Structure 1
Amino acid sequence: MNAFDYPVSGVAVIIACCLLLFQRWWRKPHPKFPPGPRGIPLFGMLPFMGTFPARTLKQWAQEKYGPVMSVRLGSEDVVILTNWEVLNQALVKNSARFAGRPYIAIFNAITGDKGVLFRDYSEDWKSQKHFGLRVLREWGLGKKRMEDIVNIEGNYFLEFIRSTIGKPMDLKKYLFNVTGNIISQITWGARYEYDDVIYNGLLDELKLLFGDTEYGRKLFWVYYAPELRYLPGFKRAYNHFLERQYSSVEFMRERIAEHQTNFNRNDIRDFMDAFIFEQRHGTEINKKSFTDEQLVMYGKDMFLAGTETSSSTLAWAFLYLLHYPECLDPIEKEIETAFGINGVPSFSRLDETPYIMAYIQEIMRAKTLVTITLQHKTTDDGYLNEHFIPKNTTVIPCLWGAHMDPEIWPNPEQFDPYRHIDSNGKFVTSDKIVPFSMGQRFCPGEGLAKVEIYMFLIKILQKFKFRAPNKNIPTLDGIHTTMNVPTELNVVFEERY
């Protein structure tokens, strides 16, 4: 036997194994699985998604693959939905089949499949979601009671602005405090001064998740390719994220312990009290589901969703006024006509402020906050646009793609509030703008967010003028990680009267 036979045979085996592994890696989950790019091993298409992933996904869909496509992210083939029609078909018309949530390592390491935001679809999840909606309704979500909370916090913020008159102020930072205080009052009945060190630490954790320039991109990659969390660089970002999240868990546990000690079934003050009531006096089924750990994660979910959405949308609204000052005049005229100098803004008077409503809706379209939503998971086999999508497939709705569809929104990149006003000068609500998603996984805080954005925008502009320091207007490019947030927003306020 030739001495070289063994090495050659060994090389052949290695090559054959590599080819087999490559074939298994390259193979689609099903012959009728949606088409799409595969990328490179371990990373998939992550290195090719650029600094604005939603724009890249929309471009791939428009140029080659269609509105239902697949993309390899890390080692998994996921389905991407990129226009309103397929979003509606999947998330609304087939809501239960697309309502699952896959295991997301970066979050499940903290939540342990508790709460509602990152939890998989089940009867227990539906029960918890319905409980949350019921409690929020009882608190008057979108009605006068909620407006009172927003107005009171708004008055605190107006006084704070007065203390900064003529000096640069980080508006983006303090909007976090404002909206955070509102959801804190609803969830555990407390508000905090804007310089509170412990509370600001809690807010900083949200900024790390949604707008951290050092770790944000790496966390985005770990989110879609969890195996990367073991590699240098990514591991550091992941561990830093976990450390900050553990501190917020302890903060929630302390609030719950206070509520457990001071609970009075005849005086339900907030969400935590309502949960503890179910825990102690609900049905036997509820008692098994309503655990302390479930409340910890539910509170975290509410705080996360209730703070970021409103604060960043408001930040975009003020930043766009710096870039489009022509929008300010019709806003100011409507405020003066509807509310005057000292009138209290009310969501019940939307008909008197059509341009303000149009401006806010255009902000939500042009600067979609959640450009690509949290991952969904199919709960059964099925077809979408003639493509077969197996059970347990990860599905990612691209809301930004729906808002940039030229067939629905002519010249979609152009910012134009008047596209939401009809020939009679009335505001037109569009069901094609879905910044809070659709179907069973829609954000239950949508009503609160809209009240906050509307009322804070009016309250601030009712009393103050603002400008960029030294005419240095921040860019509209933003930070694109799991959210689309402004890079910065430093402004100088002046008294209007």
Structure 2
Amino acid sequence: LAMWLLFLLCLLLLALVLQGRGLKGSQGRLPPGPMPLPLLGNLLQLGPSGLDKRLMELSRRFGSVFTVRLGPQPFVVLSGSSALREALLLQADTSAVEVAWPPLIAAPWAKVRAGIVFSNGHLWHTLRTFTVGALKKLGLGTRSIEERIREEAAALVQELAVTKEVPFNPLRHIRNAVANVICSVVFGERYTYEDPDFRTLLDLLNDNFQILSSQWGQMYNIFPSLLDWIPGPHHRIFSNFKKLQAFISEEIQKHKERRQPEEPRNFIDFFLDQMEKEKQDPRTHFYLETLVMTTHNLFFGGTETTSTTIHYGLLILLKYPNIAGKMQEEIDSMVGRARPPCLEDRDRLPYTNAVIHEIQRFISVVPMGLPHILTQDTHFRGHFLTKGTNIIPLLISAHQDPTQFKDPENFNPNNFLDDEGAFQNNEAFMPFALGKRICLGAGLARMEIFLFLTTILQHFTLCAVKRPEEIDLSPKSTGLGNVSPPYELRLKPR
């Protein structure tokens, strides 16, 4: 609260000097929305936390397309599954409602735009095409990557068994396992869970995810120049980032020294081969900096959201032990305990599959998606939106859409089951976003979430350290992601 009051004081002082500036520009062309204040925009209406929930409330007032100002910057919010599908999927090619990273923070974030997530245009298309191709050659989407996940799930079970029913927070164990899967793809090797460099890498990734999902991270995105002068944890984002760069650069150097040209064994090898092929091409996008940032993007995207989903999922099952028990009955009946679960089991485990989908719907791990920008003028639902308009795809609004889900604010696996108890997907389910920029690792994440959760439930009974009715499922913080609250559990071997 003190931090928020300090922000408001500083911003109000600036507003007195720059009054009126925030109201100028293209406001007349934008969809309706709440009345903004000079410089502050709609921050007073939106509050210091729970931005996604405030935007949901505004959508009930202004409809599926409305405008808010985060500070002086206007954003058009798309709310509801129908508007999101129309903009990001159905009209993505014809009207250029296309995702691209907007220039929210031109100077501070410029250094990270060499990777696949923050790039646009031809650079993005080239990197994505190359990365998808390389990952497929490395087994993504095939039985070989499934085997890697199953091996890591077995290693995770061994680590969890060591806890011997003593209460503990499983987040570090889960992050270790999830990160090792992406390590095997990018570096071609896995790390022991006790490896100090590996643990430091994961701590840095998690710290940045926590900061970017906090009030500090949100305010820094809106007022970078102001917050550069205010002490706070947001300054760690870039110091952490430099350490991550150094770690990745060191790994790349090792690969340079030991790789066999034209015989790539991992993503870094594939990229280094492409750098060699295009080194004489003045238009090439394959540089060392691009490799460092793309590797960072794969790690960050492939570790934090998936491990958060699994960690949050276990907490939900602690609150609803009857649901966990029913999943275990189904796993025992259809898989047994003599072999580990595999992806082919998904069709034989409709209830378990429904629970896993409901976990992702309920937590909406990236509730506001990544911001988008229009690449050309377009008409959308009666509004004329100009090129350069910033877009917030409010993904949580699809998951909370009452026309698509029963009692959407509560956890209910029946949202993904038909009347006969068979699994039933829903087009409003979009945890990985939609369209051209759907999460690059969506397929890998689906595999990991299913295999890790079913393997854990196959081997352990989840025991809460407090009564289920006392468990609070509210996120620890919300920003870039919904951060799962800290908790402890006991695991009883089955």
**Match for 1:387 among 366, 383, 386?**
383
Distance in 2 between residues matched to 1:91 and 1:263, nearest whole Å: 40
* Alignment of 1:66 onto 2:63: yes
Gaps of 5+ in 1: 1-17
Q: Which residue of 2 aligns with 1:299?
A: 295
Q: Which residue of 1 aligns with 2:203?
A: 204
Measure how far apart 1:187 and its partner are.
Answer: 1.0
Contact map agreement 2:308 2:365 (CA 8 A) in 1: yes
Identity level (%): 28
* Alignment of 1:428 onto 2:427: no
> How is 1:402-481 mapped onto 2 (pairs within 5 angstroms)?
402-469=398-465, 471=467, 474-478=471-475, 479-481=477-479
**Are the structure 2 counterparts of residues 44 and 195 from structure 1 closer, same or farther at C-alpha, using a change threshold of 3 Å?**
farther
**Are the structure 2 counterparts of residues 19 and 211 from structure 1 closer, same or farther at C-alpha, using a change threshold of 3 Å?**
closer
Q: Which residue of 2 aligns with 1:92?
A: 89
Q: Which residue of 2 aligns with 1:489?
A: 487
Contact map agreement 2:211 2:234 (CA 8 A) in 1: no
**Are the structure 2 counterparts of residues 307 and 135 from structure 1 closer, same or farther at C-alpha, using a change threshold of 3 Å?**
same
Deviations 1:458-494 (A, max 9, x none): 1111111121235486420112121002111311111
* Alignment of 1:187 onto 2:186: yes
Q: Which residue of 2 aligns with 1:128?
A: 127
Structure 2 counterpart SS, 1:168: coil
* Alignment of 1:245 onto 2:241: yes
Distance in 2 between residues matched to 1:207 and 1:419, nearest whole Å: 31
Structure 1 counterpart SS, 2:376: coil
Farther off after superposition, 346-355 or 198-207: 198-207
**Match for 1:290 among 272, 286, 292?**
286
Structure 1 counterpart SS, 2:57: helix
Measure how far apart 1:286 and its partner are.
Answer: 9.2
Distance in 2 between residues matched to 1:169 and 1:20, nearest whole Å: 52
Q: Which residue of 2 aligns with 1:373?
A: 369
Task: For 1:115, give the aligned amino acid.
Answer: G
* Alignment of 1:79 onto 2:76: yes
Gaps of 5+ in 2: 1-14
* Alignment of 1:274 onto 2:261: no
Distance in 1 between residues matched to 2:20 and 2:109, nearest whole Å: 32
Contact map agreement 2:152 2:180 (CA 8 A) in 1: yes
The count of aligned residue pairs is 474
Contact map agreement 2:211 2:233 (CA 8 A) in 1: no
Distance in 1 between residues matched to 2:145 and 2:405, nearest whole Å: 33
**Are the structure 2 counterparts of residues 23 and 41 from structure 1 closer, same or farther at C-alpha, using a change threshold of 3 Å?**
closer
Q: Which residue of 1 aligns with 2:9?
A: none
Larger radius of gyration: 1
* Alignment of 1:29 onto 2:44: no
Task: For 1:40, give the aligned amino acid.
Answer: L
* Alignment of 1:103 onto 2:103: yes
Distance in 2 between residues matched to 1:106 and 1:161, nearest whole Å: 44
* Alignment of 1:118 onto 2:118: yes
Structure 1 counterpart SS, 2:384: strand
**Match for 1:219 among 195, 217, 220?**
217
Distance in 2 between residues matched to 1:220 and 1:387, nearest whole Å: 28
Distance in 2 between residues matched to 1:371 and 1:106, nearest whole Å: 24
* Alignment of 1:396 onto 2:392: yes
Task: For 2:324, give the aligned amino acid.
Answer: L
Measure how far apart 1:190 and its partner are.
Answer: 2.5
Distance in 1 between residues matched to 2:446 and 2:17, nearest whole Å: 53
* Alignment of 1:352 onto 2:348: yes
Contact map agreement 1:351 1:426 (CA 8 A) in 2: no
Task: For 2:448, give the aligned amino acid.
Answer: E
Q: Which residue of 1 aligns with 2:10?
A: none
Q: Which residue of 2 aligns with 1:15?
A: none
Measure how far apart 1:342 and its partner are.
Answer: 2.2
Distance in 2 between residues matched to 1:313 and 1:374, nearest whole Å: 17
Farther off after superposition, 167-176 or 26-35: 26-35
Q: Which residue of 2 aligns with 1:14?
A: none
Contact map agreement 2:278 2:286 (CA 8 A) in 1: no
Farther off after superposition, 201-210 or 153-162: 201-210
Deviations 1:5-61 (A, max 9, x none): xxxxxxxxxxxxx99964443246153311112443333223432421111101111
Contact map agreement 1:34 1:70 (CA 8 A) in 2: yes
Deviations 1:433-457 (A, max 9, x none): 1000011111010000010010011
Distance in 2 between residues matched to 1:141 and 1:48, nearest whole Å: 44
Task: For 1:369, give the aligned amino acid.
Answer: V
Structure 2 counterpart SS, 1:492: strand
TM-score normalised per structure 1: 0.90
Q: Which residue of 1 aligns with 2:12?
A: none
Contact map agreement 1:464 1:494 (CA 8 A) in 2: yes
Task: For 1:101, give the aligned amino acid.
Answer: W
Structure 2 counterpart SS, 1:289: coil
Deviations 1:126-170 (A, max 9, x none): 011111111222223232111111111111111111111121221
Contact map agreement 1:54 1:398 (CA 8 A) in 2: yes
* Alignment of 1:332 onto 2:333: no
